[in-house]
Amino acid sequence: MRLVAENVSRSFGPRRVFGPLSFATEPGRVLGVAGANGSGKTTLVKVLAGLLRPSAGSVRLEDAGRPGSRIGVREAAGAIGWCAPDLSLYGELTPAENLEFFARVAGRLPTREELEERIASVGLDPRRLRSIRTRFLSTGQRQRLKLAYSVLSSPAVLLLDEPGSNLDEAGHRAVTAIVAEQRGRGSVVLATNDPAELALADERVTL
Amino acid sequence: MQVLGTAGKVVLGLGMAVVLWAAFLYAHPAESFVGESSRIVFFHVPTAWISALAFLLAAIHSGLYLKTRKMERDDAAAAAARLGILFCVLATVTGSLFAKVMWNSYWNWDPRQTSIVLLLLVYGAYLGLRQAIEEPERRATLSAAYALIAFVSVPFLMFAVPRMYASLHPDTVINARGRIEMSPDIKLVFFSSMIAFTALFAWMYALDVKATRLVRRLSERTGGFEA
Amino acid sequence: MILRAAAAVFVKDLRTEWRTRVAINALLLFAFSVLVLVGYAVGPTRLTLEDRPVVNSVLLWIVLFFSAMTGLSRSFVNEEETGTAAALRLSAPPASVFLGKLLGNLALLGVVMAVVVPLFLALMSFGIAAPGLFLAVLALGGVGIAAASTFIAAIVSKTAAKGALFAVLATPLLLPPLVAAVTGTQIAATGPESAAGLDAVRLLFAYDGLMVTASFLLFDAVWRE
């Protein structure tokens, strides 16, 4: 599926944050979004995720095989994965319980092995974290868990906003691995100022 | 562009003056009411009707805002709620004066009085909610949702709760037997007053909507959030 | 699908509440303090026999109403304050969020009622002549309070004032069912079930149905504003 943005812009009251912008993601490719602090990267990603209404224009999902088939981004449950600084998981639940909850509300019942595999894939030790509530994790560990959450539903489009923040060397490798994994499944929008991460992008939009 | 031209203003002003004159000097007091107290019907019922109309408009425009997301709808809903409260207060005061003359107390928690106070509370809360939100789109969405859910509970205030107690309120204009029982002179003045008040409201409403829209546009241009 | 997701939201909230016990402790402590205050100030013997049904019914619903106002906004306000609302918005169908939260608030209010009502009856020597009617009024009144509170909580969680605004917005909406519940309780206290008692039950039932339906329909607009 392609994520298509047409003349999208967003304002808060009188203040225009970004846009109007038009672009589309392609399966197997990574779209980089660059721009200085305050240029609206985070807001753009939220609009793409359907978490914010665009002030003008539209964001739609399009079946790659059938151009013209259009789904509003808000109606496409599970098609979009999102990891961003304003994403928070439940502090009182353990990492596995968090992932299990989000899978359940999306209508799936993952087994314990699947959950632990997901947790291990971002470099966390599922056995050691089994009885630890998420609020006791370090900031970097939480960032990794958020990455695991973002690909939980095997999304067609993965939106990553500063995915490498607070991560160590191994964490950055986990980001690279997740981007590579997503290429095989769909497309990636990667909003970042990290040159190493931007190097993963095939195309680039600068705000 | 002017909301109402000079000719319109003259007609409206003269009309209101004639209604005022007729209410006090032309119509005869109705039987079975203390003294001249029945004359309040020419003011009480129109203000009550206008407040109901205004709250209905607020609900309709709120619904349309959620559907179309046009800020003009939000301006219209806010203006309607404000004017609804104004006319609701007028209806409360005129009703209260009547109660003093008829039953010798301004306020006796008659079901009608109770439900009108609840209405004031509901739409007062609506305006409070509007003031608590700075961002225009968010304010419009959340207050529209509140206006609609409040509108759902209004029928309970107006009809259901009063029915549970005996009310001293005189028969409503169209009474339980489904007829309008008024002498011809009272009927004439009453309906003229209804028309005059409705025209007055329509003018005030158009002015308020226009003013609200201008303030919003101005704040969009200057970059401030002040409504 | 919606129901299963709603159950997941409900279980998640229950689990979080069980681990922190913030809402239930605040609610019960508040309810208990008010009970003590009312019991001490009014007591069972201060009132004349004919005053008891009226005053006690009003006091009981005031205790329940204010307890609800202290605790029922918690679950939505929490989601916005801790920033988990965004992930929930992205992953869960809106209807399941509302249903799950409504169930959670019903459970919370149910626990408070289960503690407060027997205590109140005992402390105030408040006898109930028609227990069936009384239970129906309690249940239907509770559903009405929970439904309106859940929807208002979703609204105020998106404003800066949050808690301060909650009672202001919820009170006018809750007055009709509270008036009916007080009347119903009064009738249940004084005598056998009557037409007036049934009127109160019918009114509560209609309010609940309308409130649940309307908030269900409007929730999507508020939640994904």
Q: Could you tell me which chain B residue has the CA closest to the CA of A56?
A: B69
- Kindly report the number of other CB atoms within 10 A of residue B36's CB atom: 12
Higher pLDDT, B222 or B195: B195
Residue C25 distance to chain B (closest CA, Å): 29
Residue C91 distance to chain A (closest CA, Å): 6
Higher pLDDT, A144 or A77: A144
Q: In this predicted model, what pLDDT tens digit does every residue of A130-167 receive, in sequence order?
A: 899 999 999 999 999 999 999 998 899 999 999 998 89
* C-beta atoms of A14 and B223 within 8 A: yes
**Is C213 touching A (CB cutoff 8 A)?**
no
* C-beta atoms of A133 and C4 within 8 A: no
For chain B, percent of residues with pLDDT exceeding 90: 53
Mean per-residue pLDDT, A27-55 = 91
pLDDT at B104: 86
Average pLDDT across chain A, whole number: 89
* C-beta atoms of C5 and A107 within 8 A: yes
Rg (CA), chain A: 17
* C-beta atoms of A82 and C84 within 8 A: no
Residue C224 distance to chain A (closest CA, Å): 7
pLDDT tier, B18 (very low <50, low <70, confident <90, very high otherwise): very high
ipTM of this model?
0.92
DSSP string for chain C: -HHHHHHHHHHHHHHHHHHH-HHHHHHHHHHHHHHHHHHHHTTTTSS-TTTHHHHHHHHHHHHHHHHHHHHTTHHHHHHHHTT-HHHHHHHS-HHHHHHHHHHHHHHHHHHHHHHHHHHHHHHTT---S-HHHHHHHHHHHHHHHHHHHHHHHHHHTTSSSTHHHHHHHHHHHHHHHHHHHHHHHHHHHHSS--HHHHHHHHHHHHHHHHHHHHHHHHHHHHHT-
> Is residue B221 classed exposed, middle or buried when 0-12, 13-18 and 19+ CB atoms within 10 A define those classes?
exposed
**Is C15 touching A (CB cutoff 8 A)?**
yes
* C-beta atoms of B136 and A53 within 8 A: no
* C-beta atoms of A107 and C224 within 8 A: no
Residue C100 distance to chain B (closest CA, Å): 20
Q: Which of C62, C72, C102, C31 is nearest to C185 (CA)?
A: C62
pLDDT tier, B181 (very low <50, low <70, confident <90, very high otherwise): low
What residue ranges do the domains of chain C occupy? 2-224
| B175 pLDDT higher than 70 | no
Query: Which A residues in the span 35-64 are in contact with B, Cβ-Cβ below 8 Å?
Result: 53, 55
For chain B, percent of residues with pLDDT exceeding 70: 87
pLDDT at C23: 85
pLDDT at B103: 84
| B160 pLDDT higher than 70 | no
pLDDT at B177: 55
pLDDT at B124: 94
Query: Which A residues in the span 111-150 are in contact with C, Cβ-Cβ below 8 Å?
Result: 133, 149
pLDDT at B226: 46
Count CA within 13 A, CB hemisphere, residue C36. 5
The DSSP 8-state label assigned to residue B26 in this structure reads I
Separation of alpha carbons A190 and A180, rounded Å: 12
> Is residue A206 classed exposed, middle or buried when 0-12, 13-18 and 19+ CB atoms within 10 A define those classes?
exposed
* C-beta atoms of C155 and B145 within 8 A: yes
Identity of the residue in B118, B124, B141 whose CB atom sits nearest the CB atom of C225: B141
H or E stretch including A84?
none
Low pLDDT (below 70) residues in chain C: none
Q: In this predicted model, what pLDDT tens digit does every residue of A6-19 receive, in sequence order?
A: 999 998 877 889 88
* C-beta atoms of C211 and B153 within 8 A: yes
Identity of the residue in C1, C4, C16 whose CB atom sits nearest the CB atom of A90: C16
| A192 pLDDT higher than 60 | yes
> Is residue A147 classed exposed, middle or buried when 0-12, 13-18 and 19+ CB atoms within 10 A define those classes?
buried
Mean per-residue pLDDT, B21-36 = 83
Q: How many interface pairs between B and C have CB atoms less than 8 angstroms apart?
A: 95
Q: In this predicted model, what pLDDT tens digit does every residue of B39-90 receive, in sequence order?
A: 888 999 999 999 999 999 999 999 999 999 999 999 999 999 999 999 999 9
**Is C16 touching A (CB cutoff 8 A)?**
yes
Average pLDDT across chain B, whole number: 86
